[in-house]
């Protein structure tokens, strides 16, 4: 506040475009963020090289208070990264099991059904990574997400089964995901069995659903859609986007 009162520019940025607003969201400093926004800091400032915004940082760091402050000042809570995976704040909350952030985004009207560059929704990402807390939040906001297929034709249940995510499989089934839906001719129980995920096979079997796939091809987790097997490729990911000291 002292610096702002003395005339400091609230939109001052380093060579990459990283602003004090980004830093405040990284650390969850709501009071500092509100002071910056009151001084007309840009709530949608983008930093190089991927165009990360303060809202993207706040979502992946699970700072709901920062998201509330940004939304109150007109931030675009659906603005994605501009390169690579092109994830939205909702998808970043899914990547980081940031349930508080997901709740804040839902309360502020962010679009939970936006997809990333590979056609994956927030529900699909959370299910693939086994992030049970945020998945429960997302499924309450978007029950249809349990049945949405991506651009490769895979539903969240297929990829959760391939990765052996028992908690995700259970949550998706409770949300109405069709356990007999096929991907490349295989049902989720086929995929789980071929990957050696006996715990998932047993869970699906207790629902008395086994469509008996006939494909002889081995299905591995690496056969899952690209967006669900790649590491998070963002230089603005948690802990890596701090400005140089």
Cα(145)–Cα(161) distance, rounded to whole angstroms?
16
H-only helix segments in 49-88: 54-60, 64-72
Question: Are 94 and 126 contacting, i.e. CB atoms less than 8 angstroms apart?
Answer: yes
Joined together, the tokens standing for residue 43 give 């709530």
Three-class SS of residue 183? strand
Cα(140)–Cα(143) distance, rounded to whole angstroms?
6
Report the candidate in 145, 53, 59 with the shortest Cα–Cα distance to residue 96: 59
Mean per-residue pLDDT of the chain: 84
Question: Are 49 and 18 contacting, i.e. CB atoms less than 8 angstroms apart?
Answer: no
Residue 174 has pLDDT above 90, yes or no: yes
Task: Note the pLDDT tens digit of each residue in 64-91.
Answer: 999 999 999 999 999 999 999 999 999 9
At residue 4 the predicted structure's pLDDT band, cuts being 50, 70 and 90, is low
Angle at 116 (CA atoms; ends 155, 241), nearest 5 degrees: 130
Cα(134)–Cα(102) distance, rounded to whole angstroms?
7
Task: Note the pLDDT tens digit of each residue in 178-210.
Answer: 999 999 999 999 999 999 999 999 999 987 444
């Amino acid at each position: 506040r002292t610096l702002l009162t003395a005339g400091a520019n609230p939109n001052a940025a380093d060579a990459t475009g990283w602003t004090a607003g980004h830093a405040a969201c990284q650390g969850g400093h709501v009071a500092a963020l509100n002071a910056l926004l009151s001084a007309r800091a840009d709530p949608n400032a983008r930093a190089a090289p991927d165009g990360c915004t303060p809202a993207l940082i706040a979502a992946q760091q699970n700072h709901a208070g920062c998201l509330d402050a940004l939304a109150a000042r007109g931030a675009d809570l659906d603005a994605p990264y501009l390169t690579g995976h092109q994830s939205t704040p909702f998808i970043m909350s899914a990547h980081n099991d940031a349930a508080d952030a997901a709740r804040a985004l839902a309360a502020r009207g962010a679009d939970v059904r936006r997809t990333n560059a590979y056609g994956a929704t927030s529900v699909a990402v959370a299910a693939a990574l086994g992030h049970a807390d945020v998945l429960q939040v997302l499924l309450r906001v978007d029950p249809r997400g349990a049945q949405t297929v991506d651009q490769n034709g895979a539903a969240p249940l297929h990829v959760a089964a391939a990765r052996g995510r028992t908690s995700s499989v259970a949550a998706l089934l409770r949300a109405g995901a069709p356990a007999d839906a096929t991907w490349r001719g295989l049902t989720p129980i086929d995929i789980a069995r071929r990957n050696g995920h006996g715990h998932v096979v047993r869970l699906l079997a207790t629902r008395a659903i086994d469509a008996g796939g006939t494909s002889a091809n081995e299905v591995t987790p690496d056969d899952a859609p690209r967006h669900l097997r790649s590491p998070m490729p963002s230089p603005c990911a948690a802990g890596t986007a701090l400005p140089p000291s």
